[in-house]
Structure 1
Amino acid sequence: MTNKYPYKNWMSATSSIDKLTLLELVWPGAHNSGVDYDFPYPIHVQPASHWFVCQDGPFIQQLNEGVRVLDLRFHSDEHWLGVKKFHTFHGYKLLRGRSLSELFKSLDFFLNENPDEFVVLDMHELKGLDEQHFDYKGFHEAIMSELGERLIPLKNQYLTLGALKKMSSLQRIVLAGEWHPDFTSPLYWPKIRSEWSGSDITSPEELRQHIERTLNNPPHKNTFWSLSATSYGELAGVKRITQELNKWFGPDSGWAPKCSIISADFIGATQLVSYCREINFFRGLRKT
């Protein structure tokens, strides 16, 4: 029987990367990870799903496929209380995706099964619903309650994966987001800089040019930054550019090693996880 998820535990199976810090890795990331084709969207929006859906399967599938950075956009709906008020979204009309509680359950299940994998939660955007303010306080309380013991403190950012494993058997999650008075903790990392094309409509060729420009002078190495390798068409909506991504970031291109996080749509259909693993494997071997 073939292994459906050959990269489910690629980090713990690649022992050489224990010599690397979190910031020295190249990470495979799922762009807009909370909106996928497995989610039961309302009937009236299903025909337009190609305009906003960015992944094939839910959080747990993305993690099992080897994705290690989840790009997350949450809104808070004041019609609900507690953790139920927080849902992912995509687009100006705040189309709802998966919930914060499902994210918690997926991470808990995955890390219980794979205790030495590391995950980055990129809180890309936090937004209130219907002109309301985002409930930072409630969001912080929910995260501390459900994920607090799993979060890697910012002060440990320069420790190697091996050292992090020795220090704690539970701390495997980086949570990064924009500072707010009600959303602050020594456990939180700074907001991750996103390098995107700057245009909602981006053809594959325009995307290629954007990536080339960015990687000619990439951001500083000692910080997380995310390269948005995504294409969106005026008629097609979210584009599936599997072949282009495999070509651009393949072993012969030289682009992937210059990256921190490669954030892609429908990443499970690409070879990006495999490419990132290979780069990190050799990077770890070279580090003395």
Structure 2
Amino acid sequence: MNSTTSTGFSLNNWMAGTPAIDKLSLYKLALPGTHNAGCDWQASYALIPGAHWVACQHKAFYEQLNSGSRALDLRLVYKNNGEGLAKFRIQHNGFLSSRTLGNLVSDIERFLTENPEEFIILDFHELKEESHPFDYVTFNNMLLKSLNNRVIPSSNRHLSLAQLKNISRSQRILIHAGWHRELDNVWFNDKVQHQWIGTQTPGASDIQKFIAEVMVSPPSSYQPWSLSATCYAALGGPVDIHTHLDRWFDPANSDWLLKCNIVNVDFIE
């Protein structure tokens, strides 16, 4: 059974259930996002440092989308000993997750088949070089071939949801990544601007202060941007602060949500 909000909206299809937002573009919306989306407790990791220090979500991409996330923060590394989409592995600060680009594609296809009126932003925040240079050509070709008719052309990125729906019944994904000459800009958009506190182990009070500072003069709503609302404990790894986030972003308490585009969180489920 899919979860619902306190107001009765189903989290798996909250966009379709809120027709008033159809007049807005994806950049004008406040979107729940998942930080380090490919590092979850159901994936596997090397014994050192182990999942405790790396995992930022409870469950995989499909469950994150069903829990309401509409922007996935993705960090890849190229491993030439893999097969197909498995050549591209999810990583967090250089530590590998068992999740691959293939897992991402299959989970998205499953989710959009079940929820065809939802939209997703794929934020390839990092395409990391390790022992081999990142293979941009293969990444570009495999991703676009696998997602096929799901991707929204970059020329349509500022259109409203209603306009996008009128153009296509299947194009529901915007792809963002840092510019590279071997990424096809017909489909790839510029890198999402990230607002991050810049320290490795911030507490909840530090994050609250940081967000308040960003909200004084938030980035333009004409381009995508994400707010990293995440904590990390030196002795425990990523921290679940959803009760704080619920309170801070409650419209009864602040106008923060009205000023945001993507709010990246840990443990969205």
Q: What is the TM-score normalised by the length of structure 1?
A: 0.88
Question: Deviations along 1:129-161, whole A, 9 cap, x unmatched?
Answer: 22x211111100111111131111111122111
Offset of 1:39 from its aligned partner? 1.2
> Which of 73, 79, 101 pairs up with 2:81?
79
Question: Deviations along 1:225-277, whole A, 9 cap, x unmatched?
Answer: 00000011111211111211111111222211110100000112xxxxxxxxx
What is residue 34 of structure 1 aligned with on the other side? Answer: 38
What is residue 279 of structure 1 aligned with on the other side? Answer: none
One-letter amino acid of the structure 2 residue matched with residue 195 of structure 1:
Q
Moved over 4 A (4+): none
Question: Deviations along 1:5-50, whole A, 9 cap, x unmatched?
Answer: 63111111111111111211111000000000111334x24x7322
Offset of 1:95 from its aligned partner? 2.3
Query: Structure 1 3/185 Cα, relative in aligned 2: closer, same or farther at 3 Å?
Result: closer
Offset of 1:173 from its aligned partner? 0.1
Q: Secondary structure of the residue that 1:218 maps to in structure 2?
A: coil
What is residue 285 of structure 1 aligned with on the other side? Answer: none
Give yes or no for the alignment of 1:58 onto 2:53: no
Equivalent residues of 2:149, 2:170 under 8 A apart = yes
Q: Secondary structure of the residue that 2:12 maps to in structure 1?
A: coil
Distance 1:30 1:180 in 2: 24
How many pairs were matched up? 263
Offset of 1:3 from its aligned partner? 4.3
- Consecutive unaligned residues of structure 1, counting only runs of 5 or more, are 269-288
Offset of 1:128 from its aligned partner? 2.3
What is residue 129 of structure 2 aligned with on the other side? Answer: 128
What is residue 8 of structure 1 aligned with on the other side? Answer: 12
Offset of 1:177 from its aligned partner? 0.5
What is residue 26 of structure 2 aligned with on the other side? Answer: 22
Alignment of 1:129-148 (within 5 A): 129-130=130-131, 132-148=132-148
One-letter amino acid of the structure 1 residue matched with residue 134 of structure 2:
F
Equivalent residues of 2:154, 2:185 under 8 A apart = no
One-letter amino acid of the structure 2 residue matched with residue 102 of structure 1:
N
Alignment of 1:1-288 (within 5 A): 3-4=2-3, 6-42=10-46, 44-45=47-48, 48-92=50-94, 94-130=95-131, 132-252=132-252, 253-268=254-269
Equivalent residues of 1:75, 1:87 under 8 A apart = yes
Distance 1:31 1:97 in 2: 17
- Cα RMSD, aligned residues only: 1.4
Q: What is the TM-score normalised by the length of structure 2?
A: 0.94
- Consecutive unaligned residues of structure 2, counting only runs of 5 or more, are 5-9
Which fold has the larger relative contact order, with Cα–Cα distance below 8 Å and residues 6 or more apart in sequence? 1
Question: Deviations along 1:52-97, whole A, 9 cap, x unmatched?
Answer: 11001000000111110000001110222432211111124x3224
